[in-house]
Chain A
């Protein structure tokens, strides 16, 4: 356990000692970036530093054991994309002819071609979320975006994700405790007709983040730890469970095919080897997942940007 905590502290050190980018310090407000050489842009909204109570209360009838004991967690400031990464955005990376495909040696390399159409007819171009990809693919996209824009991007930590999702609230959902209101905010089992939808069609949370709950569920950085809340302990600052094995990793937010219980701010999900069971080849793809149509991701960028060396060390872990 001591070793484990040390590992976390080391990782936090890496994450929090990032050199400051002077341009970012003056104003901490939303910004829009156009991906260089394209007309595709995305908006990043500020998530202010602060602390919150993470996890769920045992009185919540849908509470699960891996969501407690609740802990006070402190988070430093970051930007988060207002929407889930779209297929249009991801395609720029996926089709970037200047990159190698599935290289073992290149720092940034593209996913292999999709064996089938993983959107399963639910939609691709025009604002649909990219889906059915591995955490590795999601992080490679972040790395590509960093090389393209010069700004450091990554997945949120599990704690950052829940902090951003709650947006200052402590209720079951970020709009209160009444699941019947979910239809105004989220695509889920009850209203999705079993398909994900174009991003940003429902109401955002208080910090301007759309589809945090529902539509596609979202990869975070953390290895899944069933005892997460005892592992991080009390008064943790920027906790992160470092990568240890391919499975299970943590997924948040619930998806279009899940019930309201999985759309609670505190609900946790984990990746399984089964999510690639229908890949007919071995070794199975490290890029695509055959049975995870409801899994996508969202990017963040820390206010304190890392040096290029720190960024490199960080990306290598994923």
Chain B
């Protein structure tokens, strides 16, 4: 896509609206949605006010542009309140001073419940989508429909139906020239960018390895007054409709790096996994380890492992092996086939990629440029991780073409506090867990 470097942002937005109006059936664009008022302030809405949403909002407000947080939405009022309190803390930034002057969220622009996102999105020029990933497809769809620029966290879906919705909306976002950045932040990290530039030094990539092995994450115990829906929403990491299992929620970062360097996605996967330690009713349905062999179209293999077991070796890294050498991503090193260093990234020049994502996104928006279309890439890497999950859950070889077209929709029939999610606990409080060889996904 060509950048509109000469047009001001205001003009750009107008053009975008017109273009979009011409191409899309229901453009849903009104002048009020864009840079209304006298100033050139870029208005931001935060959808999903947890720890990562708070972090992303702070980074948006610290980008060099004239940015203001004007609306917030979260399923839970307490999460929204905590987030706003943190953002108003004097020492919120890494030494850049308070963000208070950039926050303008009065009571009537705080939205709670499942449908608050639509109203918050309508008030902004740029939206930050940082809820649990199960909601990403509907939130992304809505933001694209309303013609907003978007920062959305990874993963971008938890099931193939969600992936297809994101891919469809991504195409519309392209025609509308909406900038979309996905929080696969290694793409915005100096060391990875430098390694990528030099990937030819290792020749053709013939195999790769990826690791996300660590202790795991938080657990939120059930409380007495919760409906099943509220419990799953609070303890969301352990339910696939919300999280996608940790192979999707975290390990996507490493899998995505391999897709990036390979310039494509695997065509099939097989693997194994289970839960050896993550037992009991607090842990929903997700596994604590997955090991997947992904095969790319050219026959090269990615061996991917992720584990959430305390007290075991921890490693979060990627390795690419080529015909002439290897790239060790975490170390920032390229070596030849004999192990001799060809390139070493200087750690002193590393950036904060979480900040860079927002710096680059908001700079493009301020200049009226169309520079970022990460949604398709994010969706395909998310799908790769889901492919891995289908393989470990079923114990079968799973083909990409078949998996991405599955009518597998993990979402509840409706988003209300009284709706029963698809997965429910048994009489003993335990949730059914996938069993390889028995569970059928394909």
Q: Which residues in A have some Cβ–Cβ distance to B below 8 Å?
A: 91, 95, 112-117, 120-121, 124, 194, 246, 257, 272-274, 276-283
Q: Given B54, B87, B315, B344, which contacts A121 in the complex, CB threshold below 8 Å?
A: B315
Q: In the complex, which residues of chain A have a beta carbon less than 8 angstroms from the beta carbon of B214?
A: 113-117
A278 to B188, CA, bound (A): 12
A124 to B213, CA, bound (A): 14
A120 to B354, CA, bound (A): 18
A234 to B58, CA, bound (A): 45
Beyond A95-B310, A281-B51, 18 additional pairs, beta carbon < 8 A: A95-B311, A113-B215, A113-B216, A113-B310, A114-B214, A115-B214, A117-B316, A117-B317, A121-B315, A121-B331, A124-B313, A124-B314, A194-B347, A272-B94, A274-B94, A277-B352, A277-B355, A282-B58
CB distance from A193 to the nearest CB of B (A): 9
**Residue B86 CB within 8 A of the other chain:** yes
A207 to B87, CA, bound (A): 49
CB distance from B16 to the nearest CB of A (A): 30
Closest 10 CB pairs of A and B: A281-B51, A113-B215, A282-B54, A117-B314, A116-B316, A277-B352, A282-B55, A277-B94, A273-B94, A273-B95
Whether the Cβ atoms of B86 and A276 lie closer than 8 Å is: no
Q: In the complex, which residues of chain B have a beta carbon less than 8 angstroms from the beta carbon of A281?
A: 51-52, 54-55
- Count of chain B residues near A, Cβ 8 A: 36
Closest to A115 in B: B214
**Residue B353 CB within 8 A of the other chain:** yes
Q: In the complex, which residues of chain A have a beta carbon less than 8 angstroms from the beta carbon of B311?
A: 91, 95
Whether the Cβ atoms of A117 and B315 lie closer than 8 Å is: yes
Q: Provide the B29-71 mask, 1 if CB < 8 A to any CB of A, else 0.
A: 0000000000000000000000110111010000000000000
Q: Given B55, B316, B317, which contacts A279 in the complex, CB threshold below 8 Å?
A: B55
CB distance from B282 to the nearest CB of A (A): 13
Q: In the complex, which residues of chain A have a beta carbon less than 8 angstroms from the beta carbon of B92?
A: 282
Q: In the complex, which residues of chain A have a beta carbon less than 8 angstroms from the beta carbon of B352?
A: 277-278
Known: A95-B311, A114-B215, A274-B94. A257 touches B347 (CB 8 A): yes
Q: In the complex, which residues of chain A have a beta carbon less than 8 angstroms from the beta carbon of B213?
A: 117
Chain B CB within 10 Å — which of A113, A114, A246, A279 has the most?
Answer: A113
Closest to A274 in B: B94
**Residue B91 CB within 8 A of the other chain:** yes
**Residue B217 CB within 8 A of the other chain:** yes
Whether the Cβ atoms of B317 and A280 lie closer than 8 Å is: no
CB distance from A131 to the nearest CB of B (A): 13
Closest to A116 in B: B316
Known: A114-B215, A116-B214. A282 touches B86 (CB 8 A): yes
A113 to B310, CA, bound (A): 8
Q: Provide the B354-392 mask, 1 if CB < 8 A to any CB of A, else 0.
A: 110000000000000000000000000000000000000
**Residue B300 CB within 8 A of the other chain:** no
A281 to B56, CA, bound (A): 8
Closest to B92 in A: A282
Q: Given A91, A246, A273, which contacts B93 in the complex, CB threshold below 8 Å?
A: A273
Q: In the complex, which residues of chain B have a beta carbon less than 8 angstroms from the beta carbon of A115?
A: 214
A124 to B214, CA, bound (A): 13
Q: Given B51, B215, B310, B348, which contacts A282 in the complex, CB threshold below 8 Å?
A: B51
A283 to B216, CA, bound (A): 19
Q: In the complex, which residues of chain A have a beta carbon less than 8 angstroms from the beta carbon of B54?
A: 281-283
A279 to B55, CA, bound (A): 8
A91 to B311, CA, bound (A): 8
CB distance from B425 to the nearest CB of A (A): 24
**Chain B 108-153 interface residues, beta-carbon cutoff 8 Å to A:** none
Q: Provide the B68-95 mask, 1 if CB < 8 A to any CB of A, else 0.
A: 0000000000000000001100011111
A273 to B90, CA, bound (A): 13
Closest to B310 in A: A95
Q: In the complex, which residues of chain A have a beta carbon less than 8 angstroms from the beta carbon of B331?
A: 120-121
